[in-house]
Structures are given as C-alpha cells and as structure tokens.
Amino acid sequence: MSKEITNDLINDFENDFNSSKANKIAARAAQENGIFKASQNLQTKIDLDPTFSIEIDTGKVANQKQSGRCWMFSALNTMRHSIQKNFKIKDFELSQNYTNFWDKFEKSNWFFENVIATADKDLGDRKVAFLFATPQQDGGQWDMLCGIIEKYGIVPKKVYPETANATNSSALNDTLNTLLRKDGLELRKMVQAGKSEAEVQERKNEMLREVYRILAISLGVPPKQFDFEYKDDDGNYHRDADLSPQDFFKKYVNWDLSEYISTINAPTKDKPFHKVFSVEYLGNVEGGRQVRHLNLPVDEMKDLIIKQLKNGEVVWFGSNVVKDSERQAGLLDTELYKRDDLFDVNFDMSKADMLDSGESMMDHAMVITGVDLVDGKPTKWKIENSWGEKPGFKGYFVMSDNWFDKFVYQAVINKKYLSDDLKKAFDEGSKAPIQLLPWDPMGALAKNY
C-alpha cells in the first residue's frame, strides 16, 4: 500500500463525506458559528447551576489583568479570606505587586545560579536551552510563593499598589529577559575562563543591581516599614504603626506555611502514587523552600479538599483551564462541547495520555470555595477566579466533578487533614524527592499561564 496521499484516496474521502446528510448539516453549523459554538451543549448551563451544599463566603474577586500571576493571586486570596473573616475587613486585598517584585528579583538570581552551575554544558544542551528560553516569567508555584513570604513577608495592596507593568507584564518580562540572557552568557564565559567563584559572584551581584533598578523603576521600591490603617465592617477605626512586611504576615495571617503542602494527581507511569516529586530548575528563592508534590489518586485528593472546605478553609488548586471551558459563562465541564458528535470522531484520551503527549498540562491556578455534595459525593465545585467580576457569576466559576477528574492536577492541603500514612509519605519523601525533568507537566504552571 502506498505511503503517499493519492488522488484516488482523496476522492474516496470526498465521496464518503458528501454521502452523509449529517456531515453537511454539521459543516453549515461549524462554518457559520465556529467549532465550539456549533458543538456547545446547553444542558451544561442547567447542570451547573451555582448552588452548593458547602460554600465559603469569600467576597469580591480580584483581577490579575494582563499578567500571568494567577498562582500568586490565588495563593494570596486564600490568605486574605482569613484576614477578611478574622478582622472584619470587607473586600480587603493583599499586594500582589509586592510578591511580584521579590519573585522576579529572586528568579533572576535563581537563573544566574543555574547558568553558573551548567556552564560546563553546551548552549545546545536541552537543559541549558530550557533555562535560556525563559530566564524568568510571571508563572510560579505555591511553594515558590511560600518561599517569598517566608523571606520578605507580605503587605496590604494599598501600601504597595499595582502599576502598569504589573497589570500588563509583557514589556517588563521582555526587558528583563533580554538583560538576563545577555548577563547569563557573560557568567558562562567567566566560569569557562576559569574565573574564581568570588569573581563570578561579585559580577553576578553587579548584574542583580541592574535587575533591582529595572524592577524598582517598573514596579516601585518595596516598603520596609509602613502604617496599616483601616475601618472594620462595624465602622471601627484601627491603626497599626511601623509594621514590617514580616510583622504584618505574622499578625494578620499567622499561618505556619510549612503545614500547607502541594498534592498532585498525575496518573502517569513515571509518577507512582504516594511518592513525593520535585521539578528540576523549578524555584525562585536560592536556599529557600523547595517545590514538592505528593502524588495522590484523584478520589483521595477530593476527600482532602472536602475536609478542608467543611472546616471553613478554601483550597488553592492548579488545572488546565483552557480545556472544555466557557470563560464568559464561567463554566468548566467535559460535556460543555460535543465535538465527538459534531465531527463523528472519538477525541477521548485518558488523563495519563493527555499529560504524556502534551495534550494537557497545568496552566492556571484558582481557589475552590465550595462544593455540592449529593449522597456524600461531589457533583460540582465553586471556583473563585482572578479575572475580575465580568466573567462567570461575578467572577466565580462552576466546575463539574467530571472536569475535576480530567483537568485538575494540583491542590494545596493543610497537613492536619492528611492521614498519618499520608503525612509519613510526604515527610519521608520530602527528604529526597524524585526529580522530574524541567519540562515535566507538573512544572508547567510556572512556565505556562
């Protein structure tokens, strides 16, 4: 049989297509309305009514605008919820720009250190090419934000507000990455020329001085001390003077961040369940907190999330939000689009196959604030997004349980909800986590946004 596409083969395909009335109807619908509109299943809007048996009131949603800081917004949202509740401050927000500044500054140093460590490898080496492809960006992971807060603390948004370069980050990222690539090549040459470690570090610090200048001009100089003034929901005035960002975190959030761990659901052959994984070159704070993931079956992850919700705590999670989603309606459902019916083609893939083939990966972080339980089983989930109030239900989305099964990959859980066996698995596995390759999909949230 010929390997080429022949005219006879094309004619056979064309005749087969034209012989079907259903194909012609589908063609008219798809060509006029587009694939997704033509295949949209309106039953999803009925099934995903925004009513939940367990629901945590979290107030007005935030807006990351034209930036890739979903992981940062979502993590800070989980913390601001407790501030709103404990101190009665409606619609309070933490400064996403403050953590953004220090994240980019630390990522620059992280890049330099990895460039120095790989200076003996060719530029064409896949890992070196990976480093230079994106020296730093907006994306990140829960553990990376914890590393920033543990070192620098946090501040209220009104103390260090957003800037044009924070809300629309493309120009800043382009500027910073140009400098980092240029400097990275210089550091490689210094190492290859046999310069001492002290000489290399001294030059690196000179480079970091320029990085700081770019960030300070673009985002502002981060505060070291500030006064926190607010009126609570009862109209009472409060003033806290001369706070440091670390003081503010301790007094107003006061979480032991080491108690919050990342669980993932990655059912691929290279990732056994109940083992702990890390991702090579994924991080920001040199000498700080390491990214660690405890891999769990999806039902175990759901049980932990439900326990946390029942106790009044929201849940940070990572997913592939572009799949089977309707942004304006705020719906996430595997039944949202019936492309199989439209094209009469089977598109179904297992979660493992989607991860292994690059069909799916984590690209967005949000917050689970509710769940609807029917006979003890979840049917749909309430999601707080960070895209402002226009999409969905005033910024909130509804996610079907089937969508969870297929496209949710990560959830941050307080260790107190884990069984003794899971705590032991995480603690033991964290001593020497299994290293995943830099481009593994479990690190994708930090590279794709």
Catalytic residues: 70, 364, 385
DSSP conformation letters of 117-184: HTTTS-TTSHHHHHHHH-S--S---HHHHHHHHHHH---BTTTS---HHHHB-HHHHHHHHHHHHHHH
* Encoded tokens for 440: 């593994």
Give the whole-angstrom CA distance, residue 77 versus residue 428: 30
Give the whole-angstrom CA distance, residue 252 versus residue 76: 13
Query: Could you identify the residue written with the tokens 């890049």?
Result: 111
**Which residue type, as a one-letter code, is found at position 365?**
A
User: Positive or negative, the Cα torsion across 247, 367, 370, 355?
Assistant: negative
**Which residue type, as a one-letter code, is found at position 7?**
N
Check if the beta carbon of residue 264 is closer than 8 Å to that of residue 410. Answer: yes
Residue 396 forms beta bridges with which residues? 384, 393
Check if the beta carbon of residue 252 is closer than 8 Å to that of residue 87. Answer: yes
Half-sphere exposure (CA, 13 Å, Cβ side) for 362? 28
273 by DSSP, 3-state: which?
coil
Strand-strand pairing, 396-400 and 331-332: parallel
Q: Which of 156, 356, 198, 186 lies closest to 270 in space, CA to CA?
A: 356
Q: Which of 256, 247, 285, 291 lies closest to 151 in space, CA to CA?
A: 285
Check if the beta carbon of residue 142 is closer than 8 Å to that of residue 278. Answer: no
Residues 6+ apart with CB under 8 A from 294: 261, 262, 263, 264, 274, 275, 276, 422, 425, 426, 429
Give the whole-angstrom CA distance, residue 70 versus residue 74: 6
User: Positive or negative, the Cα torsion across 154, 157, 163, 164?
Assistant: positive
- Reading phi first (left if > 0) and then psi (alpha if -120 to 50, else beta), residue 254 is in left
Distance, CA of 162 to chain centre? 20
Distance, CA of 193 to chain centre? 39
Give the whole-angstrom CA distance, residue 412 versus residue 410: 7
